[in-house]
Amino acid sequence: MKISNKAKSELLKIRSEKLKDPTKTLKIVTFPLWQGEGDFGMVIQERFDTDIIIKNEEGSELLSVDAHISETVEKASLDFILVDNMPSFKIDIY
């Protein structure tokens, strides 16, 4: 997965501010765990041994992906943008 520098910075910020439980991770998921717009979304969820962990160049964990969708998002791009003046992650799968 290609992750923009803005998205990397925001992911690290979220992880440091919101993830206090080491058993939890930021994870890209699909329905039924993701109930928002689009086919994919990001949630804070329990870490599983089967998760694919995505790290930055320094080896810090950025996010994880459910193993069953890892091939689908393998070539995806993740960016951090403003949508209607609201900060948002954008996952471009196609």
Tell me which amino acid residue 93 is: I
| Distance separating alpha carbons of residues 86 and 2, to the nearest angstrom | 22
pLDDT at 32: 86
- Domain positions in the chain are 2-92
Superfamily designation of domain 2-92: HesB-like domain (2.60.300.12)
Question: Of how many residues is the chain composed?
Answer: 94
pTM recorded for the entire structure = 0.85
Query: pLDDT tens track of the chain, all 94 residues?
Result: 999 999 999 999 999 999 989 899 999 988 888 888 888 888 999 989 999 999 999 999 999 998 888 888 888 999 999 888 888 888 888 7
